[in-house]
Amino acid sequence: MIRKHIFIKHAPLFKSFIVLFMLLIAGCSNGVNTKSVEPLVYQGWEKAKISNICLSDSIKYEEVDVPKFEQPVREDLIYILELLNIRVSEEENCDASMAIDLALTPIAGYYDGLYRCYTGSSSSGTLQLTKEGFEPVSISLDRISDPPEEIPLGGCVNIDLAPYRASWEVAMLIALRELWGNSVLELAAASNHSNISGNSIRTTMSLFETNDLTEDEVLMVLSSAMQNENWRVKGHAIDALEFIGTSSVVPILMEGLVHEGNATQSDAIHALGELGPMAAEAVPALLEIVLDEEQYMVHPDAIRLLGKIGPAARSALPDLLEILSDPYADLPVREAIVIVLPQLRPELGDAIPPLIAFLQQANEKNWKWTTGMISGTLISLTDEDFGTDAQAWQDWWDSQ
């Protein structure tokens, strides 16, 4: 009876909730788009309002009649437009019309011991946008993706598998950027479409190399790519950040450190290592990785990165020396610490005793490689040389 009373008491509110819920469902099912449409930036089109487009396309292939795998030009273009919250309509009453006229040509590369490998491509044609009251726009889709000097990981491919996307999709992204600005690249980089995401990074770096994008603009795109769920896309972004190689990339690379135990984390550590002292900002995050037992797979890599950062990473020394002093700590981790100590420039009073103790243990265990490593670090720190004789090192240290 009590449950019935509560239900009746709140029935009007409950019905209102149901009505609201059904209206939301109806709106979604009818394709109602509550997100704002990206504005155009093309000169003379800034005031154009486009939320739906009529699309036509003409795709031709050179050297082949019908390829085994037709290129999804229309599908990818629709996907990118939807990222901009622009719907492709089959109706006649569209806000604007877009036409793609494209010719694709496979390009063969010649490699030692192989005949012809179709590892390149080119595209030619135009993307046209028309709308009543605005001057028609025609943007070139001409683009060449030359065969690489070495055979790609995919190996030698025949004409049916030529990498057409490397030319036409990059050309299309450049054209769409001319119309809608850098948001095209940022949204594409973060999207779940791995081909489009990867090519958005390629497009961004191409525009950066031709000075059509500033470093800050590039970093916006690469930061979006680092939010991608695909680890391969993140890997491409990390390679691009490493190529830029300035201190501005450090915060973005640090986002890759949180992906525990996968390729993204290893790639980010490697890229930060290439920056050396410029990566000092990452020291606390790296130390956190080293002290996290669940991330043991990357402990040596993180420690080596601390060494590449150099004296700016000296704040990590107390924890590193504590690990070094633990005879039960993982051997590769202790060895990594031994290697980086000269780069971190510790106080001798803090570093020499645990090094001698580790050398004694390594001698007892007959760890030949490890003893040589420890001896080299002791020599580097002290300018003394007692080889791998732990007792001789101890006697010298006691005399100091």
pLDDT in tens, 188-207: 999 999 999 999 999 999 99
Which residue would you say has higher pLDDT here, 30 or 93? Answer: 93
Note whether 142 and 187 are within 8 A (CB). no
Residues whose CB is less than 8 angstroms from the CB of residue 137 and which lie 6 or more positions away in sequence, other chains included: 42, 45, 128, 129, 130, 179
- For β-strands 96-109 and 137-140, DSSP reports them as unpaired
Can you say whether residue 292 is alpha, beta or left, with left for phi > 0 and alpha for psi between -120 and 50 degrees?
beta
Termini Cα distance of the chain: 88
pLDDT tens-digit map of 35-61: 678 899 999 999 999 999 999 999 999
Tokens of 53: 């487009």
d(CA 119, CA 155): 9
CA 353 to chain centre: 42
- The SS3 call for residue 72 is coil
pLDDT tens digits, residue range 151-187? 777 778 778 788 899 999 999 999 999 999 999 999 9
Higher pLDDT, 153 or 347: 347
Residue 296, pLDDT above cutoff 50: yes
| Percent above pLDDT 90 for the chain | 76
Which pLDDT score is estimated for 65? 66
Q: pLDDT higher for 1 or 385?
A: 385
> CA of 314: how far to CAs of 45, 170, 200, 351, 398, in Å?
55, 44, 39, 12, 26
Place of tokens 């135009």: 126
Residue whose C-alpha is closest to residue 264's, from 239, 292, 246: 239
Average pLDDT over residues 72-88: 96
- In whole angstroms, what separates CA 112 from the centre of its chain? 33
Confidence at 259, pLDDT banded by 50, 70, 90: confident
- SS3 state at 187: helix
DSSP 121-169: EEEEEEEEEE-TTS--EEEE--EEEPPPSS--TT----GGG--THHHHH
What are φ and ψ of residue 173, in 5° steps? -65, -40
Task: For residue 89, name the pLDDT band (cuts at 50, 70, 90).
Answer: confident
Q: What is the mean pLDDT of residues 315-340?
A: 97
Token readout for 77 is 């273009």
**Residue 361 CB contacts under 8 Å (≥ 6 apart), including other chains:** 327
What average pLDDT does range 269-274 have in this prediction? 95
The first and second tokens of residue 299, run together, are: 């402990």
Q: What is the mean pLDDT of the chain?
A: 88
Is residue 12's pLDDT more than 80? no
What's the CATH number for 38-178? 3.30.160
**In the predicted model, is pLDDT for residue 82 greater than 70?**
yes
**Predicted local distance difference test score (pLDDT) of residue 66:** 62
Residue 7 clears pLDDT 80, i.e. is over it: no
Residue 30 has pLDDT above 50, yes or no: no
Residue 209 has pLDDT above 90, yes or no: yes
